[in-house]
Copies of this chain bind each other. A is one copy, B any other.
Amino acid sequence: MTEEILDKKACVAAMLPVTDALEVLRGKWKLAIIVSLLHGTKRFGQIAADIPKVTDRMLSKELKDLEMNHLVKRTIHNTFPVTVEYSLTEHGQTLRGIITELRIWGQAHRDHIIAKQ
């Protein structure tokens, strides 16, 4: 087997889980929702209040996606009117490290780009 093929295989194999991770976090509001929920359990309206400009439709959709990926837990309370609580699952909490890394790198990148101008 030639070296290029090995390289290609290694490249593809290395990408798969990275792509998986990005797929899950994809969507304009997903990270914002997770960051909001890192501060604790919240209701639909409270998350909306945390995130400027998100619409009900998008918040609802993104929360559903996150729930499907077992990152967010949805709890319905039989009050009237109905209240719904959202919280991060244990698995969702494991994103904290990545978010911290992204924040540090993003800040460094911003500094870097500004310095070049």
> Which of B18, B32, B107 meets A31, CB within 8 Å?
B18
> Which of B14, B70, B107 meets A35, CB within 8 Å?
B14
Give the contact stretch, choosing among A56-64, A79-87, A90-98: A90-98
How many residues on chain A are close to B (CB under 8 Å)?
48
Smallest Cβ-Cβ distance to A116: which chain B residue: B70
Measured in the bound complex, the distance between the Cα atoms of B76 and A108 in whole Å is 28
Measured in the bound complex, the distance between the Cα atoms of B28 and A15 in whole Å is 12
Measured in the bound complex, the distance between the Cα atoms of B32 and A16 in whole Å is 9
Smallest Cβ-Cβ distance to A42: which chain B residue: B7
* Docked complex: A25-43 residues within 8 A CB-CB of B: 25, 31-32, 35-36, 39
Q: List 21 A-B contacts (CB under 8 A).
A: A4-B49, A8-B50, A10-B39, A12-B52, A14-B103, A15-B31, A17-B103, A17-B104, A17-B106, A17-B107, A17-B109, A18-B106, A19-B32, A20-B106, A20-B109, A21-B102, A21-B109, A69-B113, A91-B112, A94-B108, A98-B105
